[in-house]
């Protein structure tokens, strides 16, 4: 089977609907495999987003608002490899989203998935979705084959394109063929390189609030509530010192100096308007994008 001869991949037949309109009905019961090479920006260059935990969820054209945890390819670890490659098992038309996987959460294949939302400091959900790293749009072609392209829902309305702040532009569309039905990495349809901008990384990293279970049930709950409730003591003085944040809790003092949040403060807030110049993140919001388990480790 070649790229030029994909039409015999799946069976099809013709039916008439109730209005007598002739329809070409496809029966696609074959799984296909694709891969995309995730890259990060660093000092003006790109490097592989290696060993990155990720989760793939999907919907269908029939139920576009229902998301489910996708079935992973055979022997897939749920982490990108050393080259930053993420693999997706395509089981039919729909949209497949690749999210950063939370380090302490477990997911069952086929189970319902709720798109998480960035949290406000008081722990309540905002109306702003955590963004996927990438979305793969799979459609059924007229000849009953499947095709795919990389895209992005761009739920926070960022500029599209290349650079530090834009969300990457859509990619070209490719057809699946019989050659892509093997789960082996070398046989997966290759969608090429995908550079995660600094802003997309920020938008895809969940912002936590004080009602998160890990914060409420932690042995360091009092300290975590201060951090995630944006109650840290701000630095004083001129210059970057005002971006320092100091934690005083349980007889200990922890300083998060301005260098901890420099990168985050250069990015846009998930909020439509956070009241800051240019809508850039504050030091407090930047710290709230760290998973509570990591903060526990630091404490």
Mean pLDDT, residues 214-225 taken together: 96
The residues, ordered by sequence, that sit 6+ positions from 238 with a Cβ below 8 Å of its Cβ are none
Check: CB of residue 90 under 8 Å from CB of residue 146.
yes
Tens of pLDDT, residue by residue over 101-133, are 987 889 999 999 999 999 999 999 999 999 999
Looking at residue 47, its pLDDT comes to 95
pTM beyond 0.85: the answer is: yes
Mean pLDDT, residues 19-35 taken together: 76
Name the CA dihedral angle for 70, 157, 293, 218, rounded to a multiple of 10 degrees: -110
Mean pLDDT, residues 147-152 taken together: 98
Band of pLDDT at residue 18, cut at 50, 70 and 90: low
Pick from 15-29, 53-67, 200-214: least confident: 15-29
| C-alpha distances out from residue 257 to 116, 139, 162, 229, 261, Å | 29, 48, 30, 18, 8
Q: Would you give the DSSP letter of residue 209?
A: -
Band of pLDDT at residue 4, cut at 50, 70 and 90: very low
Cα 24 to Cα 81: distance, rounded to the nearest angstrom: 40
Cα 225 to Cα 205: distance, rounded to the nearest angstrom: 19
Q: Is the pLDDT of residue 96 over 80?
A: yes
Tens of pLDDT, residue by residue over 241-288, are 899 999 999 888 999 999 999 999 999 999 999 999 999 999 999 999
Where is 109: in which H helix or E strand? none
Residue with tokens 């859509």: 170
């Amino acid at each position: 089977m070649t790229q030029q001869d994909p039409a015999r991949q799946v069976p099809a037949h013709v039916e008439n609907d109730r209005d007598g309109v002739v329809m070409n009905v496809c029966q696609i019961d074959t799984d296909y495999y694709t891969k995309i090479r995730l890259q990060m920006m660093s000092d003006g260059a790109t490097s592989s987003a290696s060993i990155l935990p990720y989760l793939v969820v999907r919907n269908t054209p029939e139920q576009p608002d229902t998301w489910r945890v996708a079935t992973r390819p055979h022997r897939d670890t749920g982490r990108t490899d050393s080259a930053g490659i993420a693999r997706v098992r395509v089981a039919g038309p729909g949209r497949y989203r690749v999210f950063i996987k939370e380090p302490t959460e477990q997911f069952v294949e086929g189970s319902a998935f709720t798109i998480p939302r960035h949290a406000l400091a008081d722990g309540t959900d905002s109306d702003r979705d955590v963004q996927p790293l990438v979305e793969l749009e799979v459609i059924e072609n007229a000849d009953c084959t499947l095709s795919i392209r990389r895209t992005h829902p761009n739920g926070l309305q960022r500029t599209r394109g290349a650079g530090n702040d834009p969300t990457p532009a859509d990619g070209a569309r490719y057809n699946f063929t019989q050659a892509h039905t093997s789960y082996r990495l070398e046989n997966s349809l290759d969608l090429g390189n995908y550079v995660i901008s600094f802003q997309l990384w920020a938008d895809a990293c969940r912002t936590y609030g004080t009602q998160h279970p890990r914060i409420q049930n932690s042995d360091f709950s009092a300290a975590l509530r201060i951090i995630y409730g944006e109650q840290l003591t701000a630095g004083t003085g001129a210059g970057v010192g005002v971006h320092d944040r100091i934690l005083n809790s349980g007889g200990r003092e922890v300083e998060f100096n301005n260098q901890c949040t420099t990168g985050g403060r250069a990015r846009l807030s998930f909020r439509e308007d956070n009241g800051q110049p240019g809508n850039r993140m504050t030091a407090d919001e930047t710290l709230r994008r760290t998973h509570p388990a990591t903060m526990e480790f630091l404490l």
